[in-house]
Structure 1
């Protein structure tokens, strides 16, 4: 359920134009983590302090990248026990895992329950079917029409993939942590959680260090910010990309003004194939095994980047009536806000304090 290059470009105006008298702005970037470009800007008192921030933040992203990747094994000299790649290759065998990965998987279980099953990290085999149709270099149909015969073959492949009631089991014993894959139909994919989860750890780290002015852009889909020193309001002005854009003059559909918050967007417009006029992406419903066509983008704002990552994924597969009922029950308790760009081009908002200007 990994959202590749996701999907809505939140064009964050993170340009600090001046430095304060007691601190300077330091920006550092990472290219090797979470399959995305990560940029962090912080105010620090010295180069030495900035270097310490950079090293500590790099370690956080490195840890969760290594543990959560499903694309490559751990190196022979790795300090970690297992990662998602090796776990997915091992059926009906109890494997010891590091606490950080156990914690991440427990959070996935919590979010699955919270979203009534719409967030499910065990459906990686279904997601792979759609990724291959869209992105395979030789046979993919990126931005192109899927032939009817291919589409029918996709449906047959999906029909054969079962959804087990207990896909995997997590256990803890005497300070050690374990996982067991329970079905051959299971492939764990943490792409819709791990990046946001790690970003929240970075956010918490900077707060613990007393950093007030900062921004974290973990790709275009997961952004966390403190305050903007160069505006009296402390706000960052963040543009929301228009998923239906046809030219340079309609690249965005709105602007939000934010500080001390995380923002996550799921959408369907950066990577998709077409069939009978609909966009087929790889945010897949665990219930229908299909990409749904209710929304073009959903942006969620709140104070937990990891949870927002998962929630935006889950919401994308909920019909409007299901989503409305879910929000009626949970919106206030979770203290989240939403901006929804519907499939018909209309926009719905569920906002409390965030200012949104539609363009």
Structure 2
């Protein structure tokens, strides 16, 4: 399982400079600002919030996200790569509170997906060549015999336990990659910091995934769900949702990084049960309350059929899920059907059930 990265399913915000968007009489005034981390734009939109409070909040957010991303980088020298080396050499290592929290957060996703969502398979991700920056040379898939050999002694989150401040594994091939959780984990910390600073109304856009606090003034936040079958840079949508209070709307998709394998095109999300790229869905959207679970669930759903997805969503208590299958058929569960408040004008969407 890997997600690096899955932008463009959600309609979000853009722009880095501090910008105030005054409303009409009685309407809220929105202020928008942001920053860039490893080429990924994070934007915050505040409703009726003083400029000094906005500036402090954005600085605090950047002070959380950038250091966290550096500590959790899965292939550049980082706290995480050093931990992985120690696990391979000694079978145990001291781990930060953040790493331990991410392992614990991954457990319900691992169980609900029957092992398909597994952050311990960083070695498999590297084997496929995805431990590199986007724009590098084309990826050459590993040989079938290499993948079969990996499966014969595959690591699993079941091989891992936490003992006080130490992570212990019985399989030296365990290698953590938290890319499918790190964004939601960072967003959760940012939202906590905003609440501590007294900010009540904010929309956080981490480059496509959306996280909300409070309201857009006296109205719900209106979030659009982009259609993964169209141009990722376009504005085609499958509809939208209206939310207030703490919510997360997260996406995943196979549209950003693809490779050709045996004459077929595959996405970059790897199924640890087969050691091959998944081919169930081209895009997913999750509506939930927990930023970390929603972020991970969007990736996990890429590995599941619609029939499996319903049980997965119930297990995790998600508010709604939407899938677009590999053959382009959109599907949503009852929760997402209820949450979606709009349908794109002039378009008739043929929704399917399992």
Q: TM-score surpassing 0.5?
A: yes
Task: Give, in angstroms, the shift of residue 24 of structure 1.
Answer: 5.6
Residue among 199, 208, 229 paired with 1:211: 199
Contact 2:91 2:171 (8 Å CA) reproduced: no
| 1: CA distance, partners of 2:9 / 2:53 | 31
Q: Return the offset for 1:163.
A: 1.4
Q: Look up the SS of the partner of 2:126 in the other structure.
A: helix
Residue equivalent to 2:352: none
* 1:79 aligned partner: none
**Is contact 1:262–1:303 with CA below 8 Å preserved after alignment?**
yes
Listed one character per residue, the Cα deviations across residues 182-239 of structure 1 (whole Å, up to 9, x for unaligned) are 433222100000111111222233344443331111122x211235637x64332414
1:93 Cα deviation (Å)? Answer: 4.5
Partner residue in 2 for 1:254: 238
1:158 matches 2:147: yes
Q: Deviations over 1:145-182 (max 9, x none)?
A: xxxxx65x43222222231354433210xxxx112344
RMSD over aligned CA atoms reads 3.2
Matches within 5 A, 1:1-359: 1-12=1-12, 17-18=21-22, 25-32=30-37, 36-43=40-47, 45-74=49-78, 83-90=79-86, 91=88, 92-132=90-130, 139-140=137-138, 153-161=142-150, 162-165=153-156, 166-172=158-164, 177-220=165-208, 222-226=209-213, 229=216, 233-240=219-226, 242-245=227-230, 251-260=235-244, 261-275=247-261, 278-327=264-313, 329-330=314-315, 334-350=317-333, 351=336, 352-358=338-344, 359=347
State the aligned residue count: 330
**SS of equivalent to 1:348:** strand
Q: For residue 192 of structure 1, give the secondary structure of its aligned residue in structure 2.
A: helix
Residue segments in structure 1 that go unaligned for 5+ positions in a row:
75-82, 142-149
SS of corresponding position for 1:164: coil
- Secondary structure at 1:341 match in 2: strand
Give how far 1:277 is off. 5.9
Equivalent-residue separation in structure 1 for 2:189 and 2:136 (angstroms): 38
Query: What's the TM-score once normalised by structure 1's chain length?
Result: 0.79
Q: Give secondary structure in 2 for the equivalent of 1:345.
A: coil
Q: Distance in 1 between matches of 2:13 and 2:49?
A: 23
- Aligned with 2:271: secondary structure? coil
Stretch deviating more after TM superposition (111-120 or 158-167):
158-167
Matched residue of 2:203: which SS?
strand
| Unmatched 5+ stretches in structure 2 | 348-354
State how far apart, in whole Å, the 2-side matches of 1:308 and 1:216 are. 14
- The secondary structure found in structure 1 opposite 2:143 is helix
Distance, in Å, in 2 between the alignment partners of 1:288 and 1:246 is 30
**How far, CA to CA, are the matches of 1:297 and 1:247 in structure 2?**
11
Shift of 1:17: 3.6
